[in-house]
């Protein structure tokens, strides 16, 4: 299986930090780009359109939250994945960036295996083997005891695309609560965030269902089949 991950842009005011990150990532089948300041990073992002941007909090001429908002606010770059490299003594930096559109955070000192894992997650989008059916379902997302309301844009037995009006916190699974139209029983399923897209104040998250029971899978498949049958009439 190919490990091609397109382009990765590294942005940090420290040349040493860029060299270290580049050394780790050079083993991947990808193009590595670097920038020593936020404005240079924005320019390269718009010219090269990287799949992933890895950046520090201090970008010399702007802060990381400002950088995130600029990336999310531009048509050419808003779909790029963003990974912040933060210091453990400043955990609030991660929260600020996640609120500004960042996908994930990794803390110094960087561990090669952890960085590889996060890069793999943020640059790999699985092939959609199942046809997803466009549908609007109100969904409640539960994460760390907190609830966020969203709406599905499509669904299949393997997952759904959700639209929400705020950023979700970083790693880990999310519990989804929803009703399928015409089905009186609620569904509660675990899901993993595979990808995120940002447009204005809205965020779209591609979700993959985790450990569905056969009964849950059959209920979703019946609903999808019913919708597909209507579309073909």
pLDDT for residue 42: 97
Mean pLDDT value across the chain? 84
Superfamily of domain 7-123: Response regulator (3.40.50.2300)
pLDDT for residue 146: 83
* pLDDT beyond 50 at 127: no
Domain boundaries, the chain: 7-123, 133-232
Residues 155-196 pLDDT 10s: 888 899 888 887 776 667 899 999 998 888 999 999 988 877
CB 70 within 8 A of CB 97: no
pLDDT for residue 59: 95
Q: What CATH code would you report for 133-232? A: 2.40.10.220
133-232 matches 7-123 in CATH topology: no
- From CA 103, how far away is CA 98, in angstroms rounded? 6
CB 57 within 8 A of CB 86: yes
First to last CA, the chain: 39
Residues 11-67 pLDDT 10s: 999 999 999 998 888 877 789 999 999 999 999 999 999 999 999 999 999 999 899
Residues 82-106 pLDDT 10s: 999 999 888 788 888 877 778 889 9
pLDDT for residue 194: 80
pLDDT for residue 133: 65
* pLDDT beyond 60 at 1: no
pLDDT for residue 229: 67
Smallest CA-to-CA distance from 77 within 27, 113, 35 is with 35
**To 10 degrees, the CA torsion angle through 70, 71, 77, 81?**
-170
- From CA 184, how far away is CA 129, in angstroms rounded? 28
Helix (H, G, I), strand (E, B) or coil at 222: helix
Question: Mean pLDDT across the stretch 122-141?
Answer: 68
């Amino acid at each position: 299986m190919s490990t091609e991950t397109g382009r990765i842009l590294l942005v940090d005011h420290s040349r040493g930090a860029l060299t270290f990150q580049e050394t780790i990532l050079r083993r991947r089948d990808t193009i590595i780009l670097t920038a020593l300041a936020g404005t240079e990073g924005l320019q390269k992002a718009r010219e090269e359109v990287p799949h992933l941007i890895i950046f520090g909090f201090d970008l010399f001429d702007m802060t990381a939250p400002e950088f995130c908002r600029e990336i999310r606010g531009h048509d050419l770059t808003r779909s790029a994945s963003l990974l912040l490299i933060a210091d453990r003594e400043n955990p609030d930096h991660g929260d600020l960036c996640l609120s500004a559109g960042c996908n994930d955070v990794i803390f110094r000192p960087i561990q090669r295996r952890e960085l590889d894992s996060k890069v793999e997650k943020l640059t790999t989008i699985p092939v959609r083997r199942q046809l997803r059916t466009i549908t609007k379902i109100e969904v409640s997302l539960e994460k760390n005891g907190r609830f966020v309301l969203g709406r599905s844009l499509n669904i299949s037995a393997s997952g759904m695309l959700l639209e929400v009006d705020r950023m979700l916190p970083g790693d880990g699974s999310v519990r989804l609560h929803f009703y399928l139209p015409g089905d009186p029983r609620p569904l509660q399923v675990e899901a993993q965030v595979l990808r995120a897209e940002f447009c204005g104040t809205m965020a779209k998250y591609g979700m993959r269902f985790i450990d569905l029971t056969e009964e849950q899978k059959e209920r979703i498949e019946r609903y999808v089949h019913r919708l597909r049958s209507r579309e073909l009439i």
